[in-house]
């Protein structure tokens, strides 16, 4: 999974926290059960051995016309692993319209369980020529795109019943709430005690912006965790 971005963030930022080799996980619940999962497997021809197919959430308003056109985002979805009544692992390559000066390659892994827990994961390779330690501020901007893109991707894999259910619950099905988890191999300015990041100044302010106020830290050896209302 990768996301290479150049020129997408142009404003001046005060960047305090940088993490090494970041990974983003976006988690949500959708109305799934074993029957819905079987329907998804059938739609993707998994039982026939197909590992990729063309799908869309749009309705063909002109079924008699041999050409179906769609504008905007396009996604290729590949089956990586599955159990018919339990789960399916997918890989999605997303082609989103961007401004001319922006280069973005986005691949995400998608885990779909019969209980309705969906996990989208993405590993960042580069942001504005930074490919080791990356600013958490810019990482969160990528995560915001991932939240929206993941809704577009999964929409084409759902049934009409599921899409209607999501619209009833959330109102805006594309911008529905999700939990975000950021994982990194290291942090650029490391404090041995996680509580030292709560300095009442720049560190704490940036953590508040990312996780929301009222978040809590905890520590296991050298592993640092920050749990907030918007994710971890």
- Which CATH number belongs to the domain containing residue 35 in this structure? 3.30.530
CB 109 within 8 A of CB 89: yes
Average pLDDT in the chain: 76
Cα 66 off chain centre by: 34
Q: Cα(24)–Cα(108) distance, rounded to whole angstroms?
A: 10
Residue 3 pLDDT = 46
Task: Match 């490391």 to its residue by tokens.
Answer: 190
pLDDT in tens, 64-75: 545 545 555 567
| pLDDT tens for each residue of 152-170 | 888 878 888 888 888 898 8
Give how far Cα 10 sits from Cα of 20, 106, 134, Å.
Answer: 22, 20, 15
In a domain? residue 207: no
Q: pTM of the predicted model, to two decimals?
A: 0.78
Q: What is the pLDDT of residue 28?
A: 92
Q: Of residues 118 and 60, which shows the higher confidence score?
A: 118
* CA dist list (Å): 121 to 111, 190, 197: 9, 25, 27
Residue 216, domain member (yes or no): no
Mean pLDDT (whole number) for 92-106: 62
> How many angstroms separate the Cα of 90 from the Cα of each of 117, 123, 150, 177?
14, 15, 12, 22
pLDDT at residue 112 tops 90: yes
Would the pLDDT of 130 be above 60? yes
Total domains, the chain: 1
Q: How many CB atoms lie within 10 A of CB 134?
A: 24
Cβ contact 31:201 at 8 Å: no
Whether 182 maps to a domain, the answer reads: yes
pLDDT band at 98 (very low <50, low <70, confident <90, very high): low
Domain extent for 134: 3-8+16-56+70-189
Please give the Cα distance from 113 to 90 (Å, whole number): 11
Is residue 214 a part of any domain in this protein? Answer: no
């Amino acid at each position: 999974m990768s996301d290479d971005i150049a020129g997408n963030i142009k404003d001046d930022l005060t960047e305090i926290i940088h993490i090494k080799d970041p990974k983003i996980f976006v988690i949500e619940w959708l109305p799934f059960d074993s029957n819905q999962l079987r329907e998804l497997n059938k739609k993707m021809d998994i039982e026939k051995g197909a590992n990729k197919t063309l799908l869309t959430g749009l309705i063909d308003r002109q079924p008699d016309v041999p050409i179906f056109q769609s504008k905007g985002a396009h996604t290729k979805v590949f089956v990586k692993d599955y159990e018919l009544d339990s789960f399916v692992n997918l890989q999605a390559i997303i082609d989103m319209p961007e401004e001319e000066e922006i280069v973005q390659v986005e691949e995400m892994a998608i885990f779909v369980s019969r209980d309705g827990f969906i996990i989208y994961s993405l590993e960042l390779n580069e942001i504005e020529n930074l490919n080791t330690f990356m600013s958490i501020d810019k990482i969160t901007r990528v995560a915001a795109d991932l939240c929206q893109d993941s809704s577009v991707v999964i929409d084409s894999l759902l049934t009409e019943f599921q899409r209607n259910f999501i619209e009833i619950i959330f109102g805006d099905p594309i911008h529905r709430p999700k939990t975000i988890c950021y994982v990194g191999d290291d942090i650029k300015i490391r404090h041995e005690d996680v509580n030292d990041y709560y300095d009442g100044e720049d560190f704490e302010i940036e953590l508040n912006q990312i996780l929301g106020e009222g978040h809590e830290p905890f520590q296991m050896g050298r592993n640092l965790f920050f749990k907030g209302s918007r994710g971890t």
